[in-house]
Amino acid sequence: MGDCQTSNFHTRLWEAQLLACFREQGLLVTQPHLSPDFQIQNKRGAEAWIEAVTANPVEPYNHVNTEPEAPPEAREEIFFGRAALRFAKTIGNKRDKGYDRLAHVQGLPFALAVADFQEPGSMLWSREGLIGYLYGQGAEVLEVDGKTIAMPTLAEVLLGSSAFPAGLFSDDRAPELSAVIFTNACSIAKLNRVAVSGTGAPEGYRYTRL
């Protein structure tokens, strides 16, 4: 429980949300080994392993009341810029751990579950960066024959001097990953609503959802 009082609070928050999500779907959730974080099984006995990970900031900030930073304005930056690079490094670090090579994981589906905390307010716009990294694709809005349509844009590398490869799922470079689970809603506000919706909120408090 010590991590809930330190800079790792958001990581524990994400793990708790995943646990609740899996159980609500009727899955058996266990932790028979130190890693990965979760073993899940359905009613037919099929199993998979999930490792939880958070995209963290370069410089720590207060996750509760820090003012949001401005999102990127250019679509290319949204899909292939700093958010995509942060997701790439986060996923890359976990892949380097070699969880799929553990004896109890080999031959079974293995997924990374990613939550975003990389910048104040980045949950509002960072999803496109994950899409840009995983598939090497973005989108631009065009007017064609009087209709507004989305046209795909492609990228082989992410923006920046590192020229980090884009399109993790566009070829066979990550065969060990069955999926990447993602949320942009692992927030303190969501945690607070659990007590309210469960009729367990303390008396004398008012909760407002904006």
Question: CB 116: neighbour CB atoms within 10 A?
Answer: 27
Q: Is the link from the previous residue into 68 a cis peptide, with omega within 30 of 0?
A: no
For residue 13, report the phi and psi dihedrals to the nearest 5 degrees: -60, -45
**Which residues form the domain of 18?**
2-197
Quote the pLDDT of residue 9.
79
C-alpha 8: how far from chain center: 16
Please report the pLDDT score of residue 52 as a whole number: 96
- What is the C-alpha end-to-end distance of the chain, expressed in Å? 30
Q: Looking at the domain assignment, is residue 202 inside a domain?
A: no
pLDDT tens for 72-114 read 999 999 999 999 999 999 999 999 999 999 999 999 999 999 9
Phi, psi of 5 (to 5 degrees): -115, 15
Domain count, the chain: 1
Decide if 203 is inside a domain.
no
Q: What is the pLDDT of residue 77?
A: 95
Q: For residue 68, tell me if it sits in a domain.
A: yes
pLDDT at 193: 67
Between CA 49 and CA 180 the distance in angstroms is 12
Q: Is residue 210 part of a domain?
A: no
Note whether residue 208 is domain-resident.
no
Residue 205 domain flag = no
Q: What is the pLDDT of residue 185?
A: 82
What is the reported pLDDT for 7?
65
Does 207 fall in a domain? Answer: no
Residue ranges in the chain whose pLDDT is less than 70: 1-7, 63, 187-201, 207-210
